[in-house]
Amino acid sequence: MVASNATHVFPLELDRRYPVVVSGDGAWVEDSTGKRYLDAMSGGSMAATLGHGRRDIIGAAAEQASRLSYVHNERLTNPPREQLAAELVEVAPPGMTRVRFVTGGAEANEMAIQMARAYHVERGDPKRWQVISPAQAYHGPTMATLGLTGRPGLQAPFGPYMPAHRHIPPSTWRFDPSGEAALAALDQVLDEVGPENVSAYFCEPISAAALPAYTPPLRFWQGLAERRDRHGFLICYDEVVTGLGRSGQWFAAEKLPLVPDIIATAKGLGAGYAAIGAVICTDHVYQAFAKGSRRFTLGHTWDGAPMSCAVGLKVLEVLRSEQLIEGVRAGGPRLRDELSAALAGIPMVREVRGHGFLLGVEYVDPRDGKSFLPPTLGVARRIDLTAMEMGVIVYSTMPTRDGFAGDQTLFAPPFTTPDDDLGEMVVRFAKTVRAVAGSVERELR
């Protein structure tokens, strides 16, 4: 374990002790003391969708690197970049025709914000800049992406840099089970800012860490599509987590009754073997540039580099040849049922949600079965630390200051996890939750 007083690394949390992970194989990782952990979080961030130690992907990276590892994308292109764009368009929702590569999730979202704004400018509608998004979300740590969440705890102390984007409450069972209140909130915001000033509605189609495995009710999506038609803003999906199979489809967008204008994706595209993300847009977005200035020029040094794109190509090949997305689609509901059964009867567990291999557990105060747990109990932190002791890696989030979410755990194993390992993850996690719930109940008595 590395503590902040024994390292030159500037860690994220100075009071946390970090296990030093030295190797990984499938759904397991091992630390420097020889302790092994089941990785129910795909590398901790949901990126390692294909598990650890994949020789085929490492081989594809090595082969490409030995031929050509790097060239920049501004004046040059390369075969893996060209081919990966073509293959992504094939698996993306209908009508999506163009791909811009970036190197991660926040960059993909930033690029999507810029693309949406530039689209309107190209069409002679330069007033449109404002983005509306659900308050309870996470889109990345950069200034523009932090501006997309409505979570004061994340934005502090960077408030002075935040663009004044607007937010609506999430339509969860607690606040708005039908989705109508979120639509009314959207209408109110559109009214207040003037729909003619709105560039885009930006959201995760299925939430990741912010509200694990939550998606608004069907009525919300239908109403959102109606408002897009009426007011002319774009819809951008943050599929940084859900893209490339996590929800049991290539993109979560396939499950919803509207095709977004822009999709930002990242983690599963590199599967933990390369830093790569992508922004995929519909032809009508592209045509605004094609018929307009014919330029959309900002980008980063590593965008579309041959080696990262070669990894992306291999990832797509593995997803297809091993039928992993079909496996996630069939195995996800089974896993959710197993998790539900293992957590049954724990009064602190209110809900187990799931879409493919993206699962979420929501905790409540066991005294009434519905209020958020008191934040002072630190339940999220206790769950993660206890899980770590039990040798399973999960990721829990604390109650948010805006009052939209309480303690929750995200459970998102690699798609390649064998059934035995999935079963053992569930057993270790259920033991963890029972242990923490037991002590919480005693403390609340």
Ligand X SMILES: Cc1ncc(COP(=O)(O)O)c(C=O)c1O
Q: Which is nearer to ligand X, 210 or 346 (CB)?
A: 210
Q: Which is nearer to ligand X, 133 or 386 (CB)?
A: 133
d(CA 414, CA 44): 11
Among 37, 119, 129, 138, binds ligand X (CB under 6 A): 138
Nearest-approach distance from CB 45 to ligand X, in angstroms: 6
Is residue 362 at the binding interface for ligand X, with CB under 6 A as the rule? no
Element (DSSP H or E) covering residue 78? none
Compute how many residues bind ligand X; rule: CB under 6 A: 15
Among 168, 266, 361, 373, binds ligand X (CB under 6 A): 266
d(CA 360, CA 173): 14
Is residue 238 at the binding interface for ligand X, with CB under 6 A as the rule? yes
- Phi and psi at residue 239, to the nearest 5°: -110, 35
Stretch that binds ligand X, among 52-60, 203-211, 243-251, 329-337 (CB under 6 A): 203-211
Q: Which is nearer to ligand X, 238 or 261 (CB)?
A: 238
- Phi and psi at residue 257, to the nearest 5°: -85, 25
Distance from chain centroid for Cα 19:
24
d(CA 295, CA 282): 17
Among 134, 140, 223, 270, binds ligand X (CB under 6 A): 140
Stretch that binds ligand X, among 134-142, 223-231, 244-252, 282-290 (CB under 6 A): 134-142
- Between 155 and 194, how does the x/- string for binding to ligand X read (CB under 6 A)? ----------------------------------------
Q: Which residues of 12-51 are buried (b: 16+ CB within 10 A; e: fewer)?
A: eeeeeeebebeebebbbbbbeeeeebbbbbbbbbbbbbbb
Residue 432: Cβ-neighbour burial (10 angstroms; 0-12, 13-18, 19+): buried
Give residues 77-106 in contact with ligand X (rule: CB under 6 A).
Answer: 104-106
Among 52, 81, 139, 246, binds ligand X (CB under 6 A): 139
Q: Which is nearer to ligand X, 154 or 181 (CB)?
A: 154
Which two three-digit tokens encode residue 11? 């860690």
